Chain A
Amino acid sequence: MTSENLHSQDLGASPDEVQFRFRNDEPADHGTVTVDACCDQTNATAVRIEPGDDARVLLPFLDRLALVEVNFPTFGDGRGYSAARILREAGYKGELRAVGDVLIDQLSHMRRCGFDAFAPDKPLDEEDARRAFEGFGNVNQSAADARRTIAELRHE
């Protein structure tokens, strides 16, 4: 991450206000549909995953999706982290947006799991968020970001 491409945006048109976005493409400008609807409608390009949804049912449609929102009704429900990684592991390249009860202390983990946009219910303190995105420096696990793990660094 470079700090230049972390900037606040107000997308207006979206039902969820995106506060942080780590992408340079144009954001999808229309609302999302449910996972069920997405599987039925061949033209849907934006979908919203609820905690109980199986992210894997979206895998056949990844090519046409530009935006996947993952909802966190409460921050303690961590299913969305697995959903995000599963999509990235399957090669999804579009926007992956965390929405809902998204707080400072979840940002760095979310980022590691592949989220590249954040629309918290309550806007976050920009300075606190910047520090959180910087995280701890090095990491122990390989995840959806391309960061080299400590074990890899030790054995270069």
Chain B
Amino acid sequence: MYQYDQYDQAMVDARVEEFRDQAQRRLDGKLTEDQFKPLRLMNGLYLQLHAYMLRVAIPYGTLNSRQMTALGDIADKYDRGYGHFTTRQNLQYNWIKLEDAADILADLSKVEMHAIQTSGNCIRNISSDHFAGAAHDELIDPRPYAELLRQWSSFHPEFTYLPRKFKIAVIAAETDRAAMRLHDIGIQIVKNEAGEVGASFYVGGGMGRTPMIAPQIREFVPLDQLVTYAEACLRVYNRYGRRDNKYKARIKILVHEMGAEEYTRQVEEEFAHLLEQGVEPPLAELERIKPFFADPAFEDGPKSIDRSDPDFALWVDRNTVRHKHDSYVSAVISLKPVGGIPGDATGDQMRLMAKLAKQYSFDELRVMHTQNIVLPHVKIADLHALWTELEAADLGAPNLDTIEDIIACPGLDYCALANARSIPLAQRISENFAKNGRTEELGQLKLKISGCINACGHHHAGHIGILGVDKKGTENYQLSLGGSEAEDVSLAKITGPGFDEDGVIKAVETVTDVYLETREDGERFLDTYRRIGMTPFKEALYDK
């Protein structure tokens, strides 16, 4: 895992002091709230419905046990004993006092963490494949490239007041586990015909009120030009992205209005110019970063599992994923207990996950964009012991990628922008399917809930998506079908008129019934929907 050197540490420490200074100037009245707001946002501090929310960056979703322990301790010391893992592979604390914010940042910096650029119209935390370095199907580990881009994007002097926030994802496998094409820039590390490693650039994806899938704008950027190409993409956006309307300010709108071809032409022109300016970091820097992500010392061991305990066997089937070393698996810790709040973990649970990572996974954890935690490298021989401890801490739910593994945004329980509640809906749906026992039969089914059109809960990319809308002052939910964030990326389509809370829960059951009745061999819900189209689902929902 990447470790700070004195330069990285000095930068984060300086930032903590700068924030103290800014907060002080706000308190002294030298800054108005309007002037202070973008500064606190640059440090991930939001004002929500009931309190301040602090968003902590977890670069490319990777952290070690010391960091996870610190996150748990902060939850206990400054929050109400829990934190919320987000679809951006970050962590949010929901109950923060302004007076404590600088102290929390100082605690974070002691474990090489921060909240820098987790909000504001700047380049946000860079996300990646949660199985990076462990996946059996990846070309190489994408994280060194994500780290290079993290350094480049930190305090970028030209790109700190962009038209809107900017999100980058980097993957290096054909299987997309990071919703790469739903980012402002999605990068896939690839090999060209000559066998050289480089980067494919996809620009202009996003969710929000106008979801778009990013088109590819460059098939292959050589690795020693990666940062320069990203800089060109950003400069064209900074200059020409819309600033007249914040709902049209994301790069997806620019690429859409300008046309991908014209945008690409301008980027290429800027790229040619910037190549002459020499903005690329020395290639030696990439070489310095790479060893931090080298394989840990894997050992050969047993490759088969004693499945005599059926509960354990189910968890193994559901929550463990093939590893590149055949004596290991990646184990997913579900933060979706039946009836629980998706993505929430208590301080005790965080410390336990940290301990288990140290014991069983070379001291490493990952945050998934589906709001779960991964222990990336677990010996098959250790699985039963691991599972036993997880079970005891209510962390053993065997439901990865099932209908119980719901993504849900904070919604009306926390968020000032919400139309409707997301969390209670997720809780009721997971309880419902746990009760009717159909979870297992339904197989892979990605259900995603957002409390408003901003789409923090990825509803556009859900096999089933639910969107909270405001209908004459009452909560109302729109249902949509057929989205995917993966390599078969697609945007979900709305079924028709919305439902109230009970109605939408019933509607989810109805569409799963249609699937079970009409599926063919091996089809997932999404495959069936793609084969038979919307009509049979609509009929079942609305023609009673």
Partners in one complex: yes
Interface residues of A (CB under 8 A from B): 51, 54, 75-79, 81-83, 85, 89, 103-106, 108-110, 112-113, 125, 128, 131, 136-143, 149-155
In the bound complex, do residue A151 and residue B282 qualify as a contact, i.e. CB atoms below 8 Å apart? yes
* 5 cross-chain CB contacts under 8 A: A110-B157, A139-B155, A150-B7, A152-B282, A155-B284
User: Which residues of chain B are within 8 angstroms of A78 by Cβ–Cβ distance?
Assistant: 121, 158-162, 238
In the bound complex, do residue A141 and residue B39 qualify as a contact, i.e. CB atoms below 8 Å apart? no
In the bound complex, do residue B282 and residue A155 qualify as a contact, i.e. CB atoms below 8 Å apart? yes
B99 contacts partner chain A, Cβ-Cβ < 8 Å: no
B154 to chain A, nearest CB (A): 5
User: Which residues of chain A are within 8 angstroms of B159 by Cβ–Cβ distance?
Assistant: 78, 81
Listed stretches B9-17, B54-62, B329-337, B445-453; interface member: B9-17
In the bound complex, do residue A141 and residue B279 qualify as a contact, i.e. CB atoms below 8 Å apart? yes
User: Which residues of chain A are within 8 angstroms of B11 by Cβ–Cβ distance?
Assistant: 136-138, 140, 150
Q: Chain B: how many interface residues by the 8 Å CB criterion?
A: 39
Beyond A82-B239, A128-B30, 14 additional pairs, beta carbon < 8 A:
A78-B238, A85-B158, A112-B157, A131-B21, A136-B14, A136-B155, A137-B14, A140-B152, A140-B154, A141-B155, A142-B277, A142-B279, A143-B158, A155-B282
User: Which residues of chain B are within 8 angstroms of A131 by Cβ–Cβ distance?
Assistant: 21
The residue in chain B whose Cβ has the minimal distance to the Cβ of A144 is B157
CA distance A153 to B155 in the complex (A): 17
CA distance A128 to B25 in the complex (A): 9
In the bound complex, do residue B238 and residue A79 qualify as a contact, i.e. CB atoms below 8 Å apart? yes
User: Which residues of chain B are within 8 angstroms of A77 by Cβ–Cβ distance?
Assistant: 161, 243
In the bound complex, do residue A138 and residue B279 qualify as a contact, i.e. CB atoms below 8 Å apart? no
User: Which residues of chain B are within 8 angstroms of A113 by Cβ–Cβ distance?
Assistant: 157-158
The residue in chain B whose Cβ has the minimal distance to the Cβ of A84 is B158
B5 contacts partner chain A, Cβ-Cβ < 8 Å: yes
Given the interface contacts A125-B30, A137-B14, does A81 sit within 8 Å of B243 by beta carbon?
Answer: no
B35 contacts partner chain A, Cβ-Cβ < 8 Å: yes
B278 contacts partner chain A, Cβ-Cβ < 8 Å: yes
A52 to chain B, nearest CB (A): 9
A18 to chain B, nearest CB (A): 21
User: Which residues of chain A are within 8 angstroms of B156 by Cβ–Cβ distance?
Assistant: 140-141
Given the interface contacts A77-B243, A154-B5, does A82 sit within 8 Å of B161 by beta carbon?
Answer: no
In the bound complex, do residue B14 and residue A105 qualify as a contact, i.e. CB atoms below 8 Å apart? no
In the bound complex, do residue B281 and residue A109 qualify as a contact, i.e. CB atoms below 8 Å apart? no
B435 contacts partner chain A, Cβ-Cβ < 8 Å: no
B192 contacts partner chain A, Cβ-Cβ < 8 Å: no
The residue in chain A whose Cβ has the minimal distance to the Cβ of B35 is A103
CA distance A141 to B154 in the complex (A): 9
B242 to chain A, nearest CB (A): 11
B273 contacts partner chain A, Cβ-Cβ < 8 Å: yes
CA distance A136 to B162 in the complex (A): 21
User: Which residues of chain A are within 8 angstroms of B290 by Cβ–Cβ distance?
Assistant: none
CA distance A105 to B121 in the complex (A): 15
Among A136, A137, A151, the residue within 8 A (CB) of B151 is: A151
In the bound complex, do residue B22 and residue A105 qualify as a contact, i.e. CB atoms below 8 Å apart? yes
Counting from the closest, the 6 A-B pairs by CB-CB distance are A78-B161, A112-B157, A151-B281, A109-B157, A151-B285, A155-B284
- Of B18, B162, B239, the most chain A CB neighbours within 10 A belong to B239
CA distance A81 to B162 in the complex (A): 10
Given the interface contacts A136-B14, A151-B151, A155-B282, does A82 sit within 8 Å of B158 by beta carbon?
Answer: yes
CA distance A81 to B159 in the complex (A): 8
CA distance A145 to B471 in the complex (A): 54
CA distance A153 to B30 in the complex (A): 36
In the bound complex, do residue A150 and residue B238 qualify as a contact, i.e. CB atoms below 8 Å apart? no
Among A51, A105, A137, the residue within 8 A (CB) of B39 is: A105
Given the interface contacts A82-B239, A141-B279, does A154 sit within 8 Å of B161 by beta carbon?
Answer: no
Interface residues of B in 263-319 (CB under 8 A from A): 273, 277-279, 281-282, 284-285, 288
B324 contacts partner chain A, Cβ-Cβ < 8 Å: no
- Of B5, B18, B22, B281, the most chain A CB neighbours within 10 A belong to B281
Given the interface contacts A81-B158, A85-B158, A141-B152, does A76 sit within 8 Å of B38 by beta carbon?
Answer: yes
B538 contacts partner chain A, Cβ-Cβ < 8 Å: no
Among B10, B22, B238, the residue within 8 A (CB) of A137 is: B10
A24 to chain B, nearest CB (A): 24
Interface residues of B in 21-62 (CB under 8 A from A): 21-22, 25, 30, 35, 38-39
B248 contacts partner chain A, Cβ-Cβ < 8 Å: no
A100 to chain B, nearest CB (A): 13
CA distance A51 to B155 in the complex (A): 21
CA distance A77 to B273 in the complex (A): 24
The residue in chain B whose Cβ has the minimal distance to the Cβ of A88 is B277
CA distance A153 to B156 in the complex (A): 18
The residue in chain A whose Cβ has the minimal distance to the Cβ of B8 is A150
CA distance A150 to B162 in the complex (A): 24
CA distance A106 to B282 in the complex (A): 28
B519 contacts partner chain A, Cβ-Cβ < 8 Å: no
CA distance A152 to B155 in the complex (A): 17
User: Which residues of chain A are within 8 angstroms of B277 by Cβ–Cβ distance?
Assistant: 89, 142
